[in-house]
Amino acid sequence: MKYDYLVVGSGLYGAIFAHEANKRGKKVLVIDKRPNIAGNIYTEEVEDINVHKYGAHIFHTNNKEVWQYITQFAEFNRFTNSP
């Protein structure tokens, strides 16, 4: 099979790039050493609780367009980092 893009790593950048390229009709092969997508922000459900497999991560932006885009893929908890 022929691909337009090879993406190494399925973290935020790789997964979003592959998704957007695919929406535009491009064939994308994504490879990752881990068996899951999302890189270090991967979560798995354990007894109805989303658990961060590789440690907790915080996604923050004040860009409304970015927030609307990213929340189409997952539900986020409200968190304000206040040291």
Q: Which residue has the tokens 């991560």?
A: 57
Q: Is residue 64 in some structural domain?
A: yes
Q: Is residue 75 in some structural domain?
A: no
Q: Is residue 50 in some structural domain?
A: yes
Of the given ranges (2-6, 19-23, 57-61), which has the lowest mean pLDDT?
57-61
Q: Is residue 81 in some structural domain?
A: no
Confidence of residue 28 (pLDDT cuts 50, 70, 90): very high
- Phi and psi angles of residue 49, each rounded to the nearest 5 degrees, phi first: -125, 130
Q: What's the pTM value of the predicted model, to 2 decimals?
A: 0.80
Q: Is residue 10 in some structural domain?
A: yes
Per residue in 36-51, pLDDT tens?
Answer: 988 998 999 999 998 9
Q: Which residue has the tokens 């658990």?
A: 51
Per residue in 51-79, pLDDT tens?
Answer: 999 988 888 889 999 999 999 988 888 88
Q: Is residue 79 in some structural domain?
A: no
Q: Is residue 58 in some structural domain?
A: yes
Q: C-alpha angle with apex 48: 46 to 52, nearest 5 degrees?
A: 45
Q: Which domain holds residue 40?
A: 5-70
How many domains does the chain fold into? Answer: 1
Q: Is residue 35 in some structural domain?
A: yes
